[in-house]
């Protein structure tokens, strides 16, 4: 009898295992990404950081291409600063696709609104295997943020904030930078791409546990989570940061979907059964100033990174860029007719079915109410 039960159980486990393989091989969306083409050779210009004896193996670079590299070498940056942070074993050159698209957009619009991309070199450290280097990376990124903002001091209009984009553990580093070294006032947006935010993929040592616990405590104390609290003007330091998380969906076999979302996030996106939505436990406030940010509307990332992880995330980049554009148009078309900011604005962006059509809804919520007028637009073009 025991032998029969053991045989049945073994067969059941085998069937479930085979079914899992089938799902991973077949239940994935088509990769419809297009390659990013550069018109000139990419250049990474090293930016000197004074008194950097503590981190000689690390580096900070500005991105440029071709003849425009002279401007970067002269430290002539005139756009909105964006800092890319690589993850476990990642290279600073992975910023190339994002930076190249942003550079082309700046050229196309006559440099009226454009992004200046910077990227951090962690010497391809394996931060996913040893947590003892995480605090070093956080400290160095903090130095980089201050150095980047200092480059703009001679401008007439000095940017007061920066956008952080982190891939893998780089997203966690970006989150830590915002809270650890009191830089929340100069960080506009954090975009975490396939990053284990609330929990690590593997916790191999006590450094990981302590690091995650410290960041969790800092964000819990300084970030409003409950929807009921968002109708009031927030006094918490981290509430003004727009925090976006992007997961690789079923294609991502390293950082599963549940790890890439966060209770602190404003928006979450994923591939396959994807949606960008407000997390129920997160804040439901997306003010027009933050959502209409011209920096975000430039993120039309239509190509994969030139590395092994890129194919899983390229579709997310492309979709997110188009969703931001549509969201910007909706916010502009329906921008507070009464001219006041006494309403809560809730933006819902939802993927509809297999054809990946998009619907964008905005709700104006009076203070103290969770119901209000909703206006929606539907995008019938396939993403």
Q: Indicate the SS3 state at residue 15.
A: helix
The number of helices, as runs of H, and strands, as runs of E, in the chain is: 10, 12
Distance between CA atoms of 252 and 309, rounded to whole angstroms? Answer: 8
Distance between CA atoms of 312 and 248, rounded to whole angstroms? Answer: 6
Nearest alpha carbon to residue 121 among 134, 140, 146: 140
* DSSP secondary structure code for residue 245 in this structure: E
Look at the block and give the residue holding tokens 């791409």: 193
Distance between CA atoms of 251 and 272, rounded to whole angstroms? Answer: 8
The backbone torsions φ and ψ at residue 59, rounded to the nearest 5 degrees and listed phi first, read -155, 160
Provide the sign of the torsion angle of the four alpha carbons 56, 60, 65, 69, taken in this order.
Answer: negative
Nearest alpha carbon to residue 61 among 43, 77, 37: 43
8 Å CB contact between 98 and 117: yes
Beta-sheet pairing, 357-366 with 343-352 = antiparallel
Farthest-apart Cα atoms in the chain, separation: 84
Question: CB burial class (10 A; 0-12, 13-18, 19+) of residue 377?
Answer: middle
8 Å CB contact between 350 and 323: no
* Positions marked catalytic: 168
């Amino acid at each position: 009898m025991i032998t029969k039960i053991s045989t049945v159980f073994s067969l059941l486990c085998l069937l479930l295992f085979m079914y899992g393989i089938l799902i991973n091989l077949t239940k994935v969306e088509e990769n419809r990404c297009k390659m990013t083409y550069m018109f000139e050779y990419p250049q990474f210009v090293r930016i000197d950081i004074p008194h950097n004896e503590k981190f000689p193996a690390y580096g900070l670079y500005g991105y440029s291409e071709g003849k425009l590299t002279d401007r970067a070498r002269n430290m002539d940056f005139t756009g909105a600063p964006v800092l890319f942070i690589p993850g476990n074993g990642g290279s600073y050159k992975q910023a190339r696709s994002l930076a190249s698209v942003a550079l082309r957009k700046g050229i196309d619009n006559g440099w009226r609104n454009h992004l200046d991309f910077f990227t951090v070199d962690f010497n391809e450290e394996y931060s996913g295997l040893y947590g003892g280097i995480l605090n070093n990376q956080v400290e160095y990124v903090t130095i980089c943020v201050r150095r980047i903002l200092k480059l703009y001091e001679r401008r007439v209009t000095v940017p007061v904030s920066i956008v952080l984009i982190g891939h893998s553990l780089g997203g966690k580093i970006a989150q830590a930078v915002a809270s650890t070294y009191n830089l929340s006032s100069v960080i506009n947006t954090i975009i975490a791409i396939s990053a284990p935010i609330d929990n690590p993929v593997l916790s191999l040592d006590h450094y990981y546990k302590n690091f995650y616990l410290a960041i969790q405590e800092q964000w819990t104390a300084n970030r409003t989570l409950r929807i009921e609290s968002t109708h009031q003007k927030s006094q918490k330091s981290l509430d003004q940061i727009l925090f976006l998380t992007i997961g690789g969906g079923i294609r991502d076999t390293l950082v599963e979907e549940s790890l890439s979302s966060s209770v602190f996030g404003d928006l979450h996106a994923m591939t396959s059964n994807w949606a960008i939505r407000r997390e129920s436990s997160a804040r439901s406030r997306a003010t027009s100033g933050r959502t209409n940010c011209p920096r975000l509307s430039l993120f039309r990332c239509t190509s994969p990174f030139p590395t092994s992880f890129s194919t899983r995330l390229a579709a997310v980049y492309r979709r997110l860029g188009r969703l931001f554009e549509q969201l910007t148009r909706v916010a502009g078309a329906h921008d507070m007719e009464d001219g006041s900011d006494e309403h809560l604005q809730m933006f819902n962006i939802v993927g509809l079915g297999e054809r990946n059509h998009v619907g964008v809804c905005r709700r104006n919520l009076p203070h103290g109410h969770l119901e209000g007028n909703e206006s929606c637009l539907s995008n019938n073009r396939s993403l």
